[in-house]
Each structure stands twice: as structure tokens, then as C-alpha cells.
């Protein structure tokens, strides 16, 4: 009887110790997770990327709860200038290669830490309820006002000027052009009827029910529309910036870009 009691006591002691060890280990793991440093990544990105990138950020933050993504959207040229002047940014996602290459030339992005990620198309849009017969770029001389992005800072504006020049339309419509700070402002001008037409990216037209695409610019009328992305050399979050950069290149993420109208870059 006494022997059985001792055995029972030893079993109880063993179970108690095992339970205590398990709780201690769980506590350590919880402390480790709670002590994981919270990081805020700042990405300067072309305005035309915002719908796709907002969707991508939501998914990424679910998978990486210690990382929050903050986007600074605008014209690629303006964003490039901000970074050149020392703006605290972790990644740059441009709508034009020349703006990106400028930062590479300045040593602010290492070439091997950047890649051409997606492409886009240039389109002529008009209001959904517009009554003018604007069906192609050649009809632009008929309009009173046409909006494009400021060519010096907005790649879509530069592509628009190239297209108008190639089609021998620039001189005819030059006095009718209303310049905007980015493609989203061009879109707004068309949506509100402040202009009769606008030249933007296909992806921007897709997110609005208030405009319709009148015509798609042929590829040979403008420079290739390519979006490069890269890590800023002096980022204070090198590990997290690299992780997000690699995430953008994943097949699953590229499919998200495609859902928003972007194209894969053929390499």
C-alpha cells in the first residue's frame, strides 16, 4: 500500500514538473513574439500603383504582423527628387526607368537591388456620359481641354507628349492641354468634366466607372512603359525592405498586379 502511494506521488510530481516546463516554454515563445520589433516601411510609389499596392500591403501585413507599410504616392519625378533630397524612404517604385536610373546614378539605389517589375499601357479616356465623338487620338483637336500629367515629373505625361508628337497632334492641341500633378489628378479632371479627355494608364481607367477608354496608344508611339522597383541604399530597415522587395517579385504577387491591369515584363 505504502509502495503504491509513493509511486502515485512520484507520478504527480512528474506531471506537475512537466506542466510547469511546458508553461515556461510557452511563456518564452510568447515573450519572444511580443518583443519582435515593429517596423514601418515607407515606399515611395507612382500614383498609378496605389490600388494594386494597397491590396498587396493588406495581405503582406497579415503575413508579417510586425511590419506596417506606408505608401507615399505621387508622380515618379517628384518622388525621385524627394529621395535625392534625403527623404526617409525604404523602397522606390517608379513608373519610368529614367527616374529610377537617376537614383542608381546618384548611388542611392544599388543596381543589383532593383528590378523591372511590371508594365502598363497608355490610353485616351473620356467621361462615361460624354456626347462628343471622341473615339481615337486623332479626334483630340475637336476637344476644348485635354488633361495629361506634367511631363517633367509624371511619366504618363511624358509618354502622352511622345504619343501626340508621333501622331503629329501636339501642335494642334498644345494650347488645350491642362497639366496635372499625377495620373490620378488627370483621372479626376475627366471624371468631374473639367476636361473633355485625358491621357492616362490603362490601370487607372480600370478603377473608375465614370470614364471609358476611347483608344489605346500603340506601343510604337511612346517609350516602353516599365515600372522598376528597388531598395534605397540607406534604408534603416535593410532586412524588412529586402523581404518586401522579394515579396513583390513572387508569382502570387505578380498575379495581383495583373488583376489590376498591369503586365508581366518579358525577360
Distances from the Cα of 124 to the Cα of 25, 144, 163, 203, 235, angstroms: 62, 15, 11, 12, 38
Average pLDDT estimate for 185-196: 97
| Domain annotation covers residue 45 | yes
| Domain annotation covers residue 10 | no
pLDDT at 32 over 90: no
State whether 178 and 260 are in the same domain.
no
pLDDT attached to residue 230: 98
* CATH number for the domain harbouring residue 49: 3.40.190.10
Cell numbers that stand for 128 in this block: 462615361
pLDDT at 35 over 60: no
State whether 127 and 115 are in the same domain.
no
State whether 197 and 165 are in the same domain.
yes
pLDDT attached to residue 30: 42
Quote the domain boundaries for residue 243. 39-119+225-264
State whether 142 and 101 are in the same domain.
no
| Domain annotation covers residue 2 | no
State whether 131 and 207 are in the same domain.
yes
pTM (global) more than 0.85: no
d(CA 159, CA 226): 11
Q: pLDDT of 50-86, one tens digit each?
A: 999 999 999 999 999 999 999 999 999 999 999 999 9
Count of structural domains within the chain: 2
On average, the pLDDT of the chain sits at 89
| Domain annotation covers residue 250 | yes
Amino acid at each position: 500500500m505504502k509502495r503504491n502511494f509513493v509511486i502515485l506521488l512520484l507520478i504527480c510530481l512528474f506531471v506537475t514538473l512537466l506542466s510547469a516546463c511546458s508553461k515556461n516554454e510557452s511563456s518564452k515563445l510568447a515573450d519572444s513574439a511580443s518583443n519582435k520589433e515593429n517596423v514601418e516601411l515607407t515606399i515611395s510609389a507612382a500614383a498609378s500603383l496605389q490600388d494594386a499596392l494597397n491590396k498587396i500591403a493588406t495581405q503582406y501585413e497579415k503575413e508579417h504582423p510586425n511590419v506596417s507599410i506606408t505608401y507615399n504616392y505621387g508622380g515618379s519625378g517628384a518622388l525621385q527628387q524627394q529621395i535625392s533630397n534625403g527623404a526617409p524612404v525604404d523602397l522606390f517604385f517608379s513608373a519610368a526607368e529614367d527616374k529610377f536610373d537617376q537614383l542608381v546614378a546618384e548611388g542611392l539605389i544599388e543596381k543589383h537591388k532593383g528590378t523591372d517589375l511590371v508594365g502598363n499601357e497608355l490610353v485616351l479616356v473620356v467621361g462615361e456620359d460624354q456626347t462628343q465623338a471622341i473615339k481615337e487620338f486623332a479626334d483630340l483637336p475637336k476637344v476644348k481641354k485635354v488633361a495629361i500629367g506634367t511631363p517633367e515629373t509624371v511619366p504618363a505625361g511624358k509618354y502622352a507628349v511622345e504619343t501626340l508628337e508621333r501622331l503629329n497632334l501636339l501642335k494642334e492641341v498644345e494650347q488645350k492641354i491642362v497639366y496635372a500633378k499625377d495620373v490620378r489628378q488627370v483621372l479626376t479632371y475627366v471624371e468631374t468634366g473639367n476636361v473633355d479627355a485625358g491621357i492616362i494608364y490603362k490601370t487607372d481607367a480600370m478603377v473608375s466607372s465614370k470614364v471609358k477608354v476611347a483608344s489605346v496608344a500603340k506601343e510604337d508611339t511612346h517609350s516602353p512603359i516599365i515600372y522598376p522597383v528597388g531598395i534605397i541604399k540607406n534604408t534603416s530597415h535593410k532586412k524588412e525592405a529586402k523581404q518586401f522587395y522579394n515579396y513583390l517579385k513572387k508569382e502570387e504577387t505578380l498575379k495581383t498586379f495583373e488583376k489590376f491591369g498591369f503586365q508581366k515584363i518579358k525577360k
